[in-house]
């Protein structure tokens, strides 16, 4: 160290005394500056060369400056303690006014504390971890961007290519761990899932790295973000290529730390990184940069051109400007050194000019090799980024990212105002495997069907599957409705003979074992399947029902006139007719001659009168007001009943020509008939577990033609009594055979057809929302339905099923009417009976006190059977009779006995010498 100090002092003196020819010797203020780097690393070697050139170039341009920087270099290696020890030695023994470095974030964390204690600015161009904050450490300055500046670019790339899952691979250091929280937040904003984080310690050997890569490969992970330094990253990509993870279907993104050092990694590493996408800060072209490149090439140094070297170069320029502007003369430390031991922290002195240098650097602005140099909050202001693609031994620029406009192919284009993350703004990348096919296409399994191909059909063209059908078209419409691209490929679930490789349940299980990423088809959403997959919202109607053969209803046509009303309603109507006739008879018997006569005649009158009201053909008039009240209500009831009966019978005669052979499941199970279901469908489990069918009574079928034949043969001829299937299939079947079959019975709830994805897939909510958009767009979903189903014959009222319940009108439909009529009749009857007893019981009790109660009731019955002569109807008749008698008497011959008979069954006798009238009581 002493020899190095003497040599640097001699060179500085020589430089100052002979700076410009012909000029007098001028005294220059030498400012000692420490440099702490790993001089054996690519970054350290490049930075050392760049800083030496920066010092030479700066003072060649600014030879009139009164200050001169002198660099004291310390090799810290990759050791945190060595870096801290080197910095402490420079502060104590060399009294440096600033330290450039250290190289890594872990080393910087300790050196920053020493700088704070000594008030010496620690200026790093390579410690990029966001966990090191200049705002929290006032004497820490970062002349580069921190790693968090690139997470927006990474998220933009992920969003542009529609990747919904990504795995970060990073080293277990301050540098590696510092980026991850920011990256996770940025990916969360675009709803991209991070199923796994691969952490690799820097000390990992090849075996340990291979083991981690195999784990990633077994998990079928395809998209990676690599955040590592060049040494560990180079080893990772060589091993990844050996593990066949740099082939088609994979995508790799490298962050700034590795992409800024691609030049020195070597041809072997470059060969293993073919197809990798890289992100690094954009360096704007300038004359100064071009001149520097030419000078660098002339020197033919062993170090390569990279970004860290440019930042180191600009750091020296910024520090040289700052010490000149600060006007530092004879700077010293305020506290004397009490010990020569390098580890004596207590004797660490405080820099007199450290704060002034720090403040001056913060205000320094100039156009450097790396672009505009301007520190914002203690670190370099973020600039644009360039995206490149590793192809061969070169880096092909595919686009740029700017925080104002997003992606573009030209940063100089000023016409774009809108922020864009579309991949159309980038050039086509060449992915691993030398292909332009985007990695991580969604691997979508599709079933192989022999029937109902309108839902999904797999055809082959030049050994390539062509998928069509209602389900696939709905999926494609949903894909177009997504806010991001969703590259995919359909993979038929087949065996070597191109036949179905199993049931739908087995197909869905392939998602769980990660053979497929999703399954598209006529997949029904049921509970047991949701144990290992996640379903989207359904895109079709749901439910399982049964279809049966229909036949002419010859057995019921003969008595069809009875069917409009149920048995209970017929009995109730009959009882109501009889009750109403009886009430009318009671109310009219004593006051109306039409309701009198022999008992058999009165019984017939009771039935005749009430039933004749059906056609409003009753001829007997009623004279009692209570009878009229009852009759008004009853005629209203009869009107409602006749109209309802007529409407129901008309409907049956004109519509219901056919009847199903079976109307419910219970009848089929009770008779032990066979039933059919669609082969490889979940309906078999529903029939056994939920409906209780014996498995021996179940027959699988595949095509609508097989359905037709089985139902036509019937259960006694090798066929079945009913076919159970999902409603979409049944509707399609009925569209072909609507005149022979019908859908009956209840609908057993299912959730319809949906698309299946791996559990926890971030695509499910997006697909579900897109399904809603498609299915609620009647034009869009209607066009798809017409494309596949409109060619089938449409049955009249196909959507209407025959209910398993009777279509007859029941008593509950007219209960209110009968209640009103009954109450009216009963109230009228009770009022009449009460008035009769009230007027006749006292007189009967007074004249026959010795008679028993039952005798009195008999007398009351006899009294009820007599005419009520006090009624106005009989009074008017008596008056007419008497007038007729008087007129007849005057015209008769005296002495003769004449007998005159009248309609009231009474006889009148006349004798000589006087008149006598003898009344013959009415027997009726």
Instruction: Give 66-91 as a DSSP string.
Output: SEEEEEEEEE-TT-HHHHHHHHHHII
Each residue of 620-676: pLDDT tens digit? Answer: 677 788 878 888 888 888 888 888 888 888 877 776 556 788 888 988 999 999 999
Q: Which pLDDT value is given to residue 270?
A: 84
Instruction: Determine contact, residues 30/97, Cβ cutoff 8 Å.
Output: no
DSSP secondary structure string for all residues of 637-660: HHHHHHHHHHHHHHHHHHT--EEE
Which range (141-155, 255-269, 345-359, 564-578) has the least confidence? 255-269
- End-to-end distance of the chain based on CA atoms, in angstroms? 154
Q: Which pLDDT value is given to residue 884?
A: 52
Q: Grade residue 25 by pLDDT with cuts at 50, 70 and 90.
A: very low
Per-position b or e across 298-328, b if 16+ CB within 10 A of its CB: eeeeebbebbbbbbbbbbbbbbbbbbbbbeb
Whether the per-residue pLDDT at 327 is higher than 50: the answer is yes
Identify the burial level of 244 via C-beta atoms within 10 angstroms of its C-beta, where 0-12 means exposed, 13-18 middle and 19 or more buried: exposed
Q: How far is CA 366 from the centre of its chain?
A: 53
* Helix ranges, 686-814 (H): 704-713, 727-736, 763-775, 778-789
Each residue of 404-463: pLDDT tens digit? Answer: 888 998 877 665 568 888 888 899 999 999 999 888 788 999 999 888 889 999 999 888
Rounded Cα distance, 283 and 472, in Å? 47
Q: Which pLDDT value is given to residue 795?
A: 52
Q: Which pLDDT value is given to residue 798?
A: 42
Instruction: Determine contact, residues 686/505, Cβ cutoff 8 Å.
Output: no
Rounded Cα distance, 254 and 225, in Å? 6
The most confident of 379-383, 506-510, 735-739, 904-908, by mean pLDDT: 506-510
Q: What is the 3-state secondary structure (H, E, C) of 216-249?
A: HHHCCCCEEEEECCHHHHHHHHHHHHHCCCCCCC
Each residue of 687-730: pLDDT tens digit? Answer: 999 999 999 999 999 899 999 999 999 888 899 999 999 989 99
∠ CA(900), CA(905), CA(907), 5° rounding? 35
Each residue of 823-842: pLDDT tens digit? Answer: 988 888 888 888 877 777 66
* 12-19 mean pLDDT: 44
Q: Which pLDDT value is given to residue 20?
A: 36
Q: Grade residue 185 by pLDDT with cuts at 50, 70 and 90.
A: very high
Q: Which pLDDT value is given to residue 557?
A: 64
Q: What are the DSSP E strand ranges found in 76-153?
A: 99-100, 122-124, 140-142
- The percent of the chain in helix, strand and coil, each rounded to the nearest 5, is 45, 20, 35
Q: Which pLDDT value is given to residue 700?
A: 94
Question: Which residue's entry shows tokens 């419409």?
Answer: 477
More confident residue, 599 or 319: 319
Whether the per-residue pLDDT at 2 is higher than 60: the answer is no
Q: Which pLDDT value is given to residue 638?
A: 85
Q: Which pLDDT value is given to residue 13?
A: 43
Identify the burial level of 364 via C-beta atoms within 10 angstroms of its C-beta, where 0-12 means exposed, 13-18 middle and 19 or more buried: middle
Whether the per-residue pLDDT at 822 is higher than 90: the answer is no
Q: Which pLDDT value is given to residue 814?
A: 84
Rounded Cα distance, 724 and 738, in Å? 16
Which range (160-174, 262-276, 678-692, 837-851) has the least confidence? 837-851
Which range (226-230, 484-488, 585-589) has the least confidence? 585-589
Each residue of 878-891: pLDDT tens digit? Answer: 555 555 555 554 44
Question: Which residue's entry shows tokens 């008149």?
Answer: 915
Phi then psi for 496, rounded to 5 degrees?
-65, -20
More confident residue, 258 or 243: 243
Q: Which pLDDT value is given to residue 800?
A: 42
Among 522, 906, 436, 534, which Cα is nearest to 726's?
522
Q: Which pLDDT value is given to residue 630?
A: 83
Question: Which residue's entry shows tokens 């002034």?
Answer: 356
Average model confidence (pLDDT) for the chain? 81
Which range (259-263, 528-532, 777-781) has the least confidence? 259-263
| Token reading at 42 | 């690519």
Whether the per-residue pLDDT at 319 is higher than 90: the answer is yes
Whether the per-residue pLDDT at 810 is higher than 60: the answer is yes
* 361-377 mean pLDDT: 92
SS3 860: helix
More confident residue, 760 or 790: 760
Q: Which pLDDT value is given to residue 618?
A: 63
Whether the per-residue pLDDT at 863 is higher than 50: the answer is yes
Q: Which pLDDT value is given to residue 920?
A: 37
The residues that bridge with 724 in the sheet, in sequence order, are 546, 677
Q: Which pLDDT value is given to residue 606?
A: 74
Q: Which pLDDT value is given to residue 803?
A: 43
Q: Which pLDDT value is given to residue 757?
A: 95
The most confident of 305-314, 405-414, 555-564, by mean pLDDT: 305-314
Q: At what angle do helices 567-588 and 815-847 cross, to 10 degrees?
A: 30
CA distances to 548, 702, 703, 868 from 696, in Å: 20, 18, 21, 80
Whether the per-residue pLDDT at 205 is higher than 70: the answer is yes
Rounded Cα distance, 587 and 605, in Å? 13
Rounded Cα distance, 588 and 39, in Å? 130
Rounded Cα distance, 916 and 885, in Å? 12
Q: Which pLDDT value is given to residue 556?
A: 54
**Cβ-Cβ contacts under 8 Å for 565 (sequence gap 6 or more):** 573, 645, 648, 808, 809
Rounded Cα distance, 35 and 101, in Å? 6
CA distances to 92, 134, 536, 600, 846 from 128, in Å: 27, 11, 43, 118, 126
Whether the per-residue pLDDT at 919 is higher than 50: the answer is no
Whether the per-residue pLDDT at 918 is higher than 60: the answer is no
* 492-518 mean pLDDT: 91
What pTM was computed for the model?
0.67
Whether the per-residue pLDDT at 359 is higher than 80: the answer is yes
């Amino acid at each position: 160290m002493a020899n190095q100090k003497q040599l640097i002092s001699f060179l500085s003196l020589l430089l100052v005394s002979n700076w410009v020819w012909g000029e007098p010797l001028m005294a220059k203020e030498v400012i000692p500056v420490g440099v702490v780097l790993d001089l054996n690393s690519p970054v350290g070697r490049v930075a050392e060369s760049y800083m030496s050139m920066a010092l030479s170039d700066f003072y060649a341009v600014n030879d009139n400056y009164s200050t001169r920087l002198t660099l004291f270099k310390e090799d810290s290696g990759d050791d945190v303690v060595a870096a801290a020890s080197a910095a402490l030695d420079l502060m104590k023994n060399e009294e440096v006014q600033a330290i450039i470095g250290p190289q890594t974030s872990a080393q910087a964390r300790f050196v920053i504390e020493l700088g704070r204690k000594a008030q010496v600015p620690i200026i790093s161009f390579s410690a990029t971890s966001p966990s090191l904050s200049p705002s929290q450490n006032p004497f820490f300055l970062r002349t580069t961007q921190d790693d968090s500046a690139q997470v927006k670019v990474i998220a933009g790339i992920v969003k542009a290519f529609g990747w919904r899952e990504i795995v970060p691979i990073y080293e277990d250091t301050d540098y590696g761990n510092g980026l991850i929280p920011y990256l996770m937040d940025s990916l969360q904003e675009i709803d991209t899932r991070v199923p796994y984080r691969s952490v690799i310690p820097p000390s990992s050997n090849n075996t340990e790295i291979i083991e981690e890569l195999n784990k990633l490969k077994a998990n079928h992970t395809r998209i990676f973000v690599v955040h590592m330094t060049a040494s560990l990253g180079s080893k990772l990509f060589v091993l990844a290529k050996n593990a066949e993870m740099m082939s088609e279907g994979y995508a790799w993104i490298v962050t700034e730390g590795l992409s800024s050092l691609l030049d020195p990694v070597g041809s072997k590493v470059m060969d293993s990184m073919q197809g990798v996408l890289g992100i690094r800060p954009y360096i704007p072209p300038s004359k100064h940069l071009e001149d520097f490149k030419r000078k660098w090439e002339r020197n033919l140094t062993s170090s390569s051109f990279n970004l860290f070297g440019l930042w180191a170069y600009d750091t020296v320029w910024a520090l040289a400007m700052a010490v000149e502007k600060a006007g530092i003369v004879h700077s010293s430390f305020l506290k004397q050194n009490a010990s020569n031991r390098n580890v004596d922290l207590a004797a660490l002195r405080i820099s007199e000019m450290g704060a002034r240098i720090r403040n001056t650097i913060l205000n320094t602005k100039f156009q450097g090799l790396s672009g505009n140099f301007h520190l914002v909050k203690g670190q370099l202001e973020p600039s644009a980024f360039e995206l490149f693609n590793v192809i061969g031994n070169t880096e092909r620029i595919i686009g740029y990212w700017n925080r104002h406009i997003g992606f573009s192919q030209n940063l100089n284009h000023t016409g774009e105002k809108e922020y864009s993350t579309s991949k159309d703004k980038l050039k086509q990348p060449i992915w691993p495997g030398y292909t332009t096919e985007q990695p991580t296409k969604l691997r979508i399994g599709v079933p192989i069907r022999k029937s109902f191909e309108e839902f999904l059909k797999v055809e082959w063209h030049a050994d390539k599957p062509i998928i069509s059908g209602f389900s696939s078209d709905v999926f494609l419409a949903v894909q177009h409705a997504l806010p991001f691209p969703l590259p995919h490929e359909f993979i038929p679930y087949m065996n070597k003979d191109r036949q179905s490789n199993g049931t739908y349940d087995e197909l869905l299980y392939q998602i769980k074992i990660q053979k497929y990423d999703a399954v598209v088809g006529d997949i029904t959403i049921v509970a047991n399947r949701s144990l290992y997959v996640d379903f989207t919202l359904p895109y079709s109607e749901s439910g399982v029902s049964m279809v049966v053969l229909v036949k002419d209803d010859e057995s019921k046509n003969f008595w069809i006139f009875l069917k409009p009303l149920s048995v209970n309603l017929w009995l109730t109507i009959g009882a109501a007719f009889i009750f109403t006739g009886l009430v009318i008879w009671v109310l009219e018997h004593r006051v109306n001659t039409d309701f009198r006569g022999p008992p058999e005649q009165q019984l017939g009158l009771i039935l005749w009168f009430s039933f004749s009201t059906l056609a409003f053909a009753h001829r007997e008039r009623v004279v009692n007001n209570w009878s009229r009240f009852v009759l008004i209500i009853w005629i209203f009831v009869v009107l409602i009943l006749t109209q309802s009966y007529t409407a129901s019978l008309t409907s049956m005669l004109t519509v219901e020509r056919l009847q199903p052979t079976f109307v419910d499941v219970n009848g089929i199970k009770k008779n032990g008939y066979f039933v059919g279901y669609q082969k490889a469908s979940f309906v078999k489990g529903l029939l056994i577990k939920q409906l209780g069918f014996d498995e021996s009574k179940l027959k699988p079928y595949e095509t609508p033609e097989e359905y037709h034949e089985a139902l036509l043969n019937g259960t006694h001829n090798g066929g079945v009594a009913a076919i159970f299937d999902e409603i979409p299939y049944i509707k399609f079947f009925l569209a072909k055979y609507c005149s022979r079959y019908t859908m009956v019975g209840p609908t057993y709830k299912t959730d319809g057809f949906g698309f299946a994805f791996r559990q926890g897939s971030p695509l499910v909510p997006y697909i579900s929302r897109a399904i809603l958009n498609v299915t609620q767009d009647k034009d869009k979903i209607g066009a798809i339905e017409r494309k596949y189903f409109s060619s089938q014959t449409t049955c009249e009222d196909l959507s209407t099923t025959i209910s398993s319940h009777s279509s007859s009108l029941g008593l509950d439909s007219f209960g209110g009417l009968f209640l009103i009529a009954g109450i009216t009749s009963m109230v009228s009857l009770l009022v009449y009976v009460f008035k009769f007893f009230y007027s006749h019981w006292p007189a009967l009790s007074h004249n026959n006190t010795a008679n028993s109660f039952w005798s009195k009731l008999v007398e009351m019955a006899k009294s009820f059977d007599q005419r009520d002569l006090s009624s106005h109807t009989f009074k008017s008749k008596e008056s007419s009779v008497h007038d007729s008698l008087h007129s007849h008497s005057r015209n008769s011959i005296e002495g003769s006995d004449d007998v005159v008979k009248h309609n009231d069954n009474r006889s009148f006798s006349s004798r000589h010498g006087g008149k006598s009238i003898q009344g013959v009581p009415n027997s009726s």
